[in-house]
Amino acid sequence: MPETGMSEAISAAAADVLETMFFSPVMAEAALDEAMSAPALAARLRFSGGREGTFAVRISTSAAESMAANFLGEETEQPASGQVQDVVCELTNMLCGSVLSRLDSKAHFDLGHPELVDALEAATPDSVSRAFELGDGAVAVFLHLDAKP
Amino acid sequence: MAYSVMIVDDSQSMRKFVRRVMDLSGFEVGSCWDAANGADALALLRTHPVDIILTDINMPEMNGEEFVAELERQDVYRSIPVVVVSTDATENRIRRMIEIGARGYVVKPFSPEALRGELERVLGVANA
């Protein structure tokens, strides 16, 4: 699968999911190094079906907290850390589903459950990555497709 | 008319979000119950009948596909319309869920208008 198509799918999915579900529009594409520099939360899942691979999201703590408040409709209270983690997992799930559907709408995919991982472990080797500035911080997305058997 | 609704999703945050979006959309919710998987939802339905069910697919213990199939197997629940709310927008998945009994399908991300439109379409079909 061409890397360009994967990058475009990630960008389109990120813009759609972040604005529609988390009310956090993408301000601009960000440099991956910058997105990886701030304290962050990360989640990762495995998927199988039409293609197998790994999908991960790394989001700065400040952006994750803001996004969780938007998602949960908490206008006055800061979401608890467990709620923020739950929202990061949901973000990972939604982004992955959206990206895979864009890559091949006729394929069948099974998504595993997103799990929180150390932020340093979000980036897997040989993954296609994109980063986005959200205003309150940045989010980086990593897609790795396993080699076909 | 206010509808009695059940939201089935293993993410508590997602259940809360779906409820909030229903309110934002203007869809009238009377009572609202929620469950973390299909098995919990079936247990809840025994004592809390609802007008419509919204369910995720990817859940532990009893996933959305097993849940919809089980609702179809039981006469008492077969008439309750089910709308799948999922990240999976692949044609095969949507077709499969409709084949086993789901009446509607909403792909995440979705707008309040899209959710309300699908709920009303499905309830309209069910009430026809």
> ipTM value of the model?
0.81
Q: How far apart are CA A40 and CA A61, in angstroms?
A: 5
**Shortest alpha-carbon distance between residue B57 and chain A (Å):** 10
Select the CATH number that applies to the domain covering A3-145 from these four: 3.40.50.11540, 3.40.640.10, 3.40.50.300, 3.40.1550.10.
3.40.1550.10
Contacts made by residues A72-80, CB under 8 angstroms, sequence distance 24+:
A72/B13, A72/B16, A72/B17, A72/B20, A73/B16, A73/B17, A73/B20
CB contact under 8 A, B13 and A21: no
Average pLDDT over residues B114-126: 87
Q: Which residue of B has its CA nearest to A113?
A: B58
Got the DSSP string for A63-104?
HHHHHHHHHHT-SSSPPPHHHHHHHHHHHHHHHHHHHHHHH-
Decide if A86 and B88 are in contact by the 8 Å CB cutoff.
Answer: no
Minimal CA separation from A88 to chain B, in Å: 10
Identify the CA nearest to B53 among candidates B74, B73, B75, B77.
B77
Query: Taking the model in full, what pTM does it have?
Result: 0.89
B126, pLDDT greater than 90 = no
pLDDT of residue A76: 64
User: With 60 as the cut, is the pLDDT of residue B128 above it?
Assistant: no
Chain A: residue whose CA lies nearest to B60? A113
Instruction: Answer yes or no: is pLDDT of A14 > 60.
Output: yes
Contact A93 B13 (CB under 8 A): no
* Residue B43, min C-alpha distance to chain A (Å): 23
**What is the model's pLDDT at position A148?**
72
Give me the phi and psi of B110, to 5 degrees please. Answer: -140, 150
What's the gap in Å between the CA of A71 and the closest CA on chain B? Answer: 6
Q: Search chain A and give the residue with CA nearest B110.
A: A20
Write out pLDDT tens, residues B95-104: 999 999 999 9
Helical segments of chain A, H only: 3-22, 32-35, 61-72, 81-103
The answer, yes or no, to whether residue A143 has pLDDT greater than 70, is yes
Of B13, B60, B90, the CB nearest to A71: B13
Phi-psi domain of A114 (left: phi exceeds 0; alpha: psi -120 through 50; beta: other): beta
Task: Compute φ and ψ for A90, nearest 5 degrees.
Answer: -65, -40
- pLDDT, tens digit (0-9, with 9 covering 90-100), for B23-72: 999 999 999 999 999 999 999 999 999 999 999 998 989 999 999 999 99
Query: Taking a C-beta distance cutoff of 8 angstroms, is the pair A135, A27 a contact?
Result: yes
pLDDT category of residue A117 using cuts at 50, 70 and 90: very high
Q: Could you give the CA distance from residue A145 to residue B15 in angstroms, rounded to a whole number? A: 30
Q: What is the pLDDT of residues A31-58, one digit of tens each?
A: 887 777 788 999 999 999 888 999 999 9
Q: How far apart are CA B45 and CA B63, in angstroms?
A: 16
